[in-house]
Amino acid sequence: MTSSPPFGRAVCAMVTPFADDGSLDLDGAQELAARLVDGGCDGLVLSGTTGESPTTSDDEKAALVRAVAQAVGGRAAVVAGVGTADTRHTVEAARAAQAAGADGVLVVTPYYSRPPQAAVEAHFRRVADSVGVPLMLYDIPGRTGTRVEPDTMLRLAEHPRIVAVKDCAYDLLGSSKVIARSSLAYYSGCEELNLPLRAVGGAGFVSTVANVAAPQLRAALDAYDAGDNARATALNQRTLPLAELMMASGLPGTVTAKALLTALGLPAGPVREPLQPAGREATDGLLRAYTELTGHRLVETSQLRT
């Protein structure tokens, strides 16, 4: 089991706050980042899918890294999502993120084109060779159409700057094999697998739900690390209703996270099209689940900022 994960144990896949007119809200991003770190996040992933990377520009992504690094640099790892379907563009984005102050980069498997394993490996190596910061690979075949096979992971683990994996492959056997045979730090990218992955040697989590419930998610892993398995199980089970509503109710996690952050009076703002905001019924359900998990009372749906 990794004793000192490269980006900490509790990593939040942070939303990207926008102003009411849809422009980037850098002040809001700094405020939200500071709150998340104060609440127990060891690291922040910026410009992942939760951060609406498909609809933010390269300039916006770099500006976001600069702002958040200024706000929390030294207190938490700042990891920039830079993955695209184009190797050259990904290399450019990775270099820009490093120049802006990122402590690491998150690189997703090239999507849609479904490259074979040799091409996937070459893509990741090209990015790793182009920068001086560590890489977290993002394995999410349900979105990209291509799995990073365990044997490919083991070869990539030999690269000195490829140090971690955000694991959304839903293959505990495959992940366990790589964990056992490499030094890669495996982070659960699926909240329902946070505790199971930790139990087979995972490093922690990269979570969308952590935008609103980082202390609760972290508490389950802390209990496990302290040897209190029964408490870890109970704490993990308490987080599942909110995680299910946020991540498996048919709405993107960005939409549900922003609905709850708005209810808390925290920076979030609108989502960019083609995403649409959560409706009243969905938001009411999210508020109930959040209140049951945290005990925090929130404003009524009718009072939410728009």
| CA distance linking residue 158 with residue 147, whole number of Å | 19
Among candidate residues 262, 263, 280, the one with its CA nearest the CA of residue 271: 262
Q: Annotate 37-72 with three-state secondary structure.
A: HHCCCCEEEECCCCCCHHHCCHHHHHHHHHHHHHHH
Angle ∠(63,205,169) on CA atoms, nearest 5: 100
Residue 68, φ and ψ in degrees, nearest 5? -70, -40
Does 206 appear as a known binding residue?
A: yes
Contact 206, 166 (CB under 8 A): yes
Q: Is 50 annotated as a binding residue?
A: yes
End-to-end CA distance of the chain: 44
Rounded CA-CA distance 184/178 in Å is 8
Catalytic residues, by residue number, are 138, 166
Distance CA 183, CA 47 (A): 26
Binding residues: 50, 206
Binding residues for pyruvate: 50, 206
